[in-house]
Amino acid sequence: MSAVPVILITGAARRIGAGLARVLHARGCNVVIHYRQSADAAKALQAELCAQRPHSAHILAADLGTARGCAEAIAAALNWQGRLDGLVNNASTFVRSALGEVDEAHWAYLIDGNLKAAFFCSQYAAPALRQSGGAIVNVCDVRTDRPLPGFSVYTAAKAGIVSLTRSLALELAPHVRVNAISPGSLTWPEDDTFNADERTRIEASIPLARIGDGNDIGRVAYFLLRDADYVTGQVIAVDGGAGLASP
């Protein structure tokens, strides 16, 4: 068994997840890159990281909207190098969910892809993390405190992850630490969820005058996973100061 820490990052093929993987890998961790549909992006990221350090990145596909998919993902991660030292619950679903337009399938898509995935991945990873003295980092959203109109189900799912973080921190102590990162506006979605005017308005509201990216989240995640031995149950905002600004 390798002595190098192994971190599983869910939703890691693209965007913020890929940034997380790059930062954790650059700081000496071996990474398991989970994806659902972005196989080409996951393979490209694995090749990029393994070119820097051979056999240091692994990929796996799973649907984390089901408990079975979560169990399979954790089992595959453990099977790679026989250990698991950290779990980053980053996988997320994000679409508008305006009141009056949400049906049961829409609700399930957002709750399952966010809250359910984080819970069941944590549950199945817990035995291995207890053994390694590892840690969990959940990725939530500052919009749980400052909601955007039209995203009520997504906001509820992410608020559930905040409560889950605190509950698991108590339940898994003293062997496993559980914390969360609450990002503000990050690398824009690759669709038209936010139009140009909305993007300009959001950026103008951020004191540090830019949106965040995977590097910003990755550095905080590494701290919580590897350097924060006396920190658990906390939610750290990484939002460029947006939470300080007037509504």
The confidence band for 213, taking pLDDT boundaries of 50, 70 and 90, is confident
pLDDT at 193: 59
pLDDT at 240: 87
Domain that holds residue 63: 6-238
d(CA 112, CA 24) in angstroms, rounded, equals 26
Sign of the dihedral defined by the CA atoms of residues 234, 235, 240, 242, in that order: negative
The confidence band for 72, taking pLDDT boundaries of 50, 70 and 90, is very high
State the burial class of residue 105 (Cβ atoms within 10 Å of its Cβ: 0-12, 13-18, 19+).
exposed
Q: Which residues contact 236 (CB under 8 A, 6 or more apart)?
A: 179, 180, 181, 182, 220, 224
Amino acid 83 reads: R
CB 181 within 8 A of CB 244: no
**Has residue 187 got a pLDDT over 70?**
no
Residue 111 falls within a domain, yes or no?
yes
184 or 232: whose pLDDT is higher?
Answer: 232
Of the candidates 142, 139, 122, 138, the residue with the CA atom closest to the CA atom of residue 130: 122
Summary mean pLDDT of the chain:
92
User: Which SS3 state, helix, strand or coil, does residue 33 take?
Assistant: strand
The confidence band for 189, taking pLDDT boundaries of 50, 70 and 90, is low
Residue 200 falls within a domain, yes or no?
yes
Residue 75 falls within a domain, yes or no?
yes
| Number of domains into which the chain is organized | 1
The confidence band for 2, taking pLDDT boundaries of 50, 70 and 90, is confident
User: Which SS3 state, helix, strand or coil, does residue 12 take?
Assistant: coil
Residue 91 falls within a domain, yes or no?
yes
Helices of type H across the chain: 15-26, 39-52, 67-81, 104-111, 117-132, 152-172, 196-204, 214-222
Indicate the Cα dihedral angle 80, 183, 150, 64, nearest 10°. Answer: 10
d(CA 25, CA 96) in angstroms, rounded, equals 33
Sign of the dihedral defined by the CA atoms of residues 199, 144, 217, 2, in that order: negative
pLDDT at 192: 63
- What global pTM score does this model have? 0.92
Residues designated as active site:
154
Residue 243 falls within a domain, yes or no?
no
Q: How far is CA 106 from CA 164, 188, 216, 234, in A?
A: 22, 22, 30, 30
User: For position 218, which CATH number holds?
Assistant: 3.40.50.720
pLDDT at 246: 56
Residue 81 falls within a domain, yes or no?
yes
Residue 244 falls within a domain, yes or no?
no
pLDDT at 46: 98
Q: What is the pLDDT of residues 74-86, one digit of tens each?
A: 999 999 999 999 9
Residue 213 falls within a domain, yes or no?
yes
Amino acid 160 reads: G
